[in-house]
Every structure is written in C-alpha cells, then in structure tokens.
Amino acid sequence: MTTDSKLEGQCLCGTVTVRIVPPDPHVDACHCRMCQRWGGSALLSLRMVTDPDITGTEHIGRYASSDWAERGFCRQCGTHLFFFYKPKASYSFTAGLFGGAADFTMTEEIFIDEKPGYYDFAGERERLTGPEVMAKFGVGNS
C-alpha cells in the first residue's frame, strides 16, 4: 500500500465508515490506564489526520475524556473509533477499523510505564514513559 492512497475502515456493524489518507503507514500503541480501561488493553491507532471522510456521524458517540480530548465510538455496536485531540482538531483512528492497515509497522509505544505485565509487543521500537511523552508532546494522557 502506498502512503498517499485512501484507507477505508468501518465499525463492526457498518453504520460508521471512515476514509482517510494516512500520513504514513505506521501504528502507535498507547498503554496508558485510560486506554486500557476504554478498550480493555492497549490502544493501537494510526497517526493523526485532520480531514477524515466519515459517514454515519449521527451514530457516533463522543465521550470527553479530558478537557482537550474526546473518544468516539459507534452507538449501534460500541466499536471504538477514534481519539480526537481538540487543540489541533485532529483524529487518531483505531487501527483495527482498517483492513488495509494490516501491513503497517508499529513505530512507537507510549506510557510504557503504565503497561500491565501480562503482555508485551515483540520487536524493537521507541518506548516512552508518561513523563517522557509529556516532555516530548506537551500533553498528558487523556
């Protein structure tokens, strides 16, 4: 898959569909406690995009998980769709929505210090603790 082609995804029930042009073919993992609680485990998501083409928006629930972020889900089937970062109006969609992301590589793991002991992702990549994330990006977990 080339990086400038559109990636198409959908929720479990198909009510919400998403088309994006991913900035690069990478997946990042967040191990923070909020992501674990939200999805049951680490959140695997794509890089931020600002102009997603979404259908079924009226069926999307948005939970304000902090002052600066919302987490979107399908109200029909409960599929977790995105993390929305309000200061930049940008979306990070969950990787599992997109069959075409199967060949993407995992580039970064964040909040590694909040990861439980019962899983690890294989391979070598950058792994940042919560304080390192805040120093690098100027944001906390949300």
Q: Summarize as ranges the residues that interact with Zn ion (CB under 5 A).
A: 11, 13, 15, 30, 32, 35, 74, 76-77, 79
Residue (1 or 64) nearer to Zn ion, CB: 64
Report the residue number, 58 or 103, with the smaller CB distance to Zn ion: 58
- For the chain, give the secondary structure using H, E and C: CCCCCCEEEECCCCCCEEEECCCCCEEEEECCHHHHHHHCCCEEEECCECCCEEECHHHEEEEEEECCEEEEEECCCCCEEEEEEHHHCEEEEEHHHEHHHCCCEEEEEECHHHCCCCCCCCCCCEEECHHHHHHHHCCCCC
CB of 61 to Zn ion, least distance (A): 10
Q: Which is nearer to Zn ion, 32 or 49 (CB)?
A: 32
Nearest distance from C-beta of residue 122 to Zn ion, angstroms: 20
Closest C-alpha among 13, 33, 30 to residue 109: 30
Question: In whole angstroms, how close is the CB of 1 to Zn ion at the nearest point?
Answer: 24
Minimum distance from residue 80 beta carbon to Zn ion (Å): 10
Q: By C-beta, is 1 or 116 nearer to Zn ion?
A: 116
